[in-house]
C-alpha cells in the first residue's frame, strides 16, 4: 500500500516535470523550423539563382523573416514572383483580353503565421542569391542565415538541384 | 469543370467564340503574329520564315529571370522527350525582352542548359518591341534600385503555337501541363489551312 502510493507520487512528479519542462525544451529546440530547402543550379553562364524551403512556426506568436544573409553569395534578398494581368489584351482575340504577366519584386519580410507555415516555392516567394562565389553543381550545399523579427536567427542548409 | 477541360477551352477559345469556318478540331488562324527578323544566339540574322515546315513554339522572357523562364524551359524539355520522333519538326523560339543583358552569347549559354531544340533571339529594343506588338505580348522594365537585380522585367507568359506555315494557331497558358502542350503540338503538326 505504502509502496503503491510512493510509485503514484513518483508518476505524478514525473508528469509534473514533463509538463513544466516540455515548453522549455521546445523553445530551446527552435520556435521556427526549416524543411525541404533547395536551390536551383544556375545556368553555367549565371551566378544568380533562387532558393526555396518551407518554414514552420511552432509558437502561438506570428513571426516574420526580416533579413537573410549568406557568405556564399555577394548579396542575398527576399523576392516574390506574382502572376498579374497584362494591361492590354490581344486585339481581336476573344477570351484573351487579359494575359498572365509574371512580375518579380523584392519583399521586405516573409510572414510566418502563428502555428502556421510559410512556403517558399517556384512561382511565389523565394530567396534570391546574387553572385554565387563559386561554381555549383547538383548535390552541392549552400548555407544561409535567416533573421527573424524577434531577433533570433535560423540556419538553412539547402541542396542544389536542377 | 476540371483544369484540363478549362485549358482546352482556353486554347480553342477563339474557335469556340466564333472564328469563321471553325468546326471540330480545325484550329482557327489567330489574328496575331506574322513574320519577323531578329538576331539569333550566334549573332546571326534570323527570320521566322526560315522555319517553314516546322511547328514553332514562341515565348517571351529574359535569362535573369530565376523562376518562370527556367520553369517553362524545363516543361518544354519534357514536351520534347514525350514527342519522340515528332520532336524533329518542332522548334522553340525564346525571345528576350531584356536585350541590355541578354546578348547572343548570354542566350546561348543559358539555353544550352536545357534539352530543347531552341533558338534564343535578341536584337535592338525597337525590333523586339515590334515582335512583342505583333504577337500581342507585353513587358515592362521595373526598376528595383534596392535590389542587386537593379531592374526586373515583368512579362506575359503565354506560349504561342504556330503551324508549319508560321501562322499562330494556339495559345497555352503558363499552367498548361506537359501533356496539354504535347497534344497541342500534335494538333499543330496535323493542322492544315
Joined together, the cell numbers standing for residue A50 give 533562387
pLDDT for res A129: 95
Of B14, B110, B157, the CB nearest to A45: B110
> Does the model's pTM come out above 0.90?
no
- How would residue A87 be classed by pLDDT, with cut points 50, 70 and 90? confident
ipTM at complex level: 0.75
Using a CB cutoff of 8 Å and minimum separation of 24, what contacts does B40-48 make? B40/B104, B40/B119, B40/B120, B40/B121, B41/B104, B41/B105, B41/B107, B41/B108, B41/B111, B41/B119, B41/B120, B41/B121, B41/B122, B42/B104, B42/B108, B43/B104, B43/B105, B46/B119, B46/B121, B48/B93, B48/B166
Pairwise CB contact (< 8 Å): A92 & B110? no
Rounded CA gap, B179 and B159, in Å?
14
pLDDT of residue B65: 77
Does the beta-carbon distance from A90 to B32 stay under 8 Å? Answer: yes
Chain A residue with CA closest to B169: the answer is A93
Average pLDDT over residues A100-104: 90
Residues A28-35, mean pLDDT to the nearest whole number: 80
Please give the pLDDT value at position B9: 36
Supply φ then ψ for residue A33, to 5 degrees: -115, 160
Distance between CA atoms of residues B90 and B54, nearest Å: 5
Asked whether the predicted pLDDT for residue B16 surpasses 50, the reply is no
Measured distance CA(A77)–CA(A56) in Å, rounded: 20
Q: Are B171 and B30 in contact (CB under 8 A)?
A: yes
- Residue B14, pLDDT > 50, answer no
Non-local CB neighbours of B193 within 8 Å, separated by 6+ positions: B165
Please say if the pLDDT value at position A67 is more than 80: yes
CA dist A66 and A56 (Å) reads 16
Q: State the average pLDDT for chain A.
A: 86
Q: What end-to-end distance do the CA atoms of chain B give, in Å?
A: 31
Chain A hits for B28, Cβ within 8 Å: none
The answer to whether B178 and B71 have CB atoms below 8 angstroms apart is no
Residues 85-104 of B with CB under 8 A from A: none
Residue A63 phi, psi (nearest 5): -130, 165
Predicted local distance difference test score (pLDDT) of residue A114: 97
Tell me what pLDDT residue B3 has.
44
Are A128 and B142 within 8 A, CB to CB? no
Instruction: Please answer yes or no on whether B154 and A104 come within 8 Å at the CB atom.
Output: yes
Task: Locate B56 and state its grid cell.
Answer: 514553332
With pLDDT > 90 as the criterion, what percentage of chain A qualifies?
63
The DSSP secondary-structure symbol of A42 reads: P
**What is residue B27's DSSP assignment?**
P
Amino acid at each position: 500500500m505504502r509502496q503503491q502510493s510512493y510509485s503514484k507520487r513518483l508518476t505524478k512528479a514525473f508528469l509534473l516535470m514533463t509538463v513544466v519542462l516540455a515548453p522549455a525544451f521546445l523553445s530551446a529546440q527552435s520556435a521556427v523550423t526549416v524543411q525541404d530547402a533547395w536551390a536551383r543550379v544556375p545556368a553555367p553562364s549565371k551566378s544568380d539563382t533562387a532558393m526555396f524551403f518551407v518554414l514552420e512556426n511552432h509558437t502561438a506568436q506570428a513571426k516574420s523573416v526580416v533579413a537573410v544573409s549568406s557568405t556564399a553569395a555577394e548579396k542575398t534578398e527576399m523576392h516574390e514572383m506574382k502572376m498579374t494581368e497584362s494591361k492590354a489584351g490581344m486585339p481581336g482575340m476573344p477570351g484573351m483580353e487579359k494575359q498572365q504577366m509574371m512580375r518579380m519584386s523584392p519583399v521586405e519580410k516573409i510572414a510566418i503565421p502563428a502555428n502556421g507555415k510559410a512556403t517558399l516555392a517556384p512561382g511565389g516567394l523565394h530567396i534570391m542569391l546574387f553572385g554565387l562565389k563559386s561554381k555549383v553543381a547538383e548535390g552541392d550545399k549552400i548555407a544561409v542565415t535567416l533573421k527573424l523579427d524577434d531577433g533570433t536567427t535560423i540556419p538553412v542548409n539547402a541542396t542544389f538541384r536542377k | 469543370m476540371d483544369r484540363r477541360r478549362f485549358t482546352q477551352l482556353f486554347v480553342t477559345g477563339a474557335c469556340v467564340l466564333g472564328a469563321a469556318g471553325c468546326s471540330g478540331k480545325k484550329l482557327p488562324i489567330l489574328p496575331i503574329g506574322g513574320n519577323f527578323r531578329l538576331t539569333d544566339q550566334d549573332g546571326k540574322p534570323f527570320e521566322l520564315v526560315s522555319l517553314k515546315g516546322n511547328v514553332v513554339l514562341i515565348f517571351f522572357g529574359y535569362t535573369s529571370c530565376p523562376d518562370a523562364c527556367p520553369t517553362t524551359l524545363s516543361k518544354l524539355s519534357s514536351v520534347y522527350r514525350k514527342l519522340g520522333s515528332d520532336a524533329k519538326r518542332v522548334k522553340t523560339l525564346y525571345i528576350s525582352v531584356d536585350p541590355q543583358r541578354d546578348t547572343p552569347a548570354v542566350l546561348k549559354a543559358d539555353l544550352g542548359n536545357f534539352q530543347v531544340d531552341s533558338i534564343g533571339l535578341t536584337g535592338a529594343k525597337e525590333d523586339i518591341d515590334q515582335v512583342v506588338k505583333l504577337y500581342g505580348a507585353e513587358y515592362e522594365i521595373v526598376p528595383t534600385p534596392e535590389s542587386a537585380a537593379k531592374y526586373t522585367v515583368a512579362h506575359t507568359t503565354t506560349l504561342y503555337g504556330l503551324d508549319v506555315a508560321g501562322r499562330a494557331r494556339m495559345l497555352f497558358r503558363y499552367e498548361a501541363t506537359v501533356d496539354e502542350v504535347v497534344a497541342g503540338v500534335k494538333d499543330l503538326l496535323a493542322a492544315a489551312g
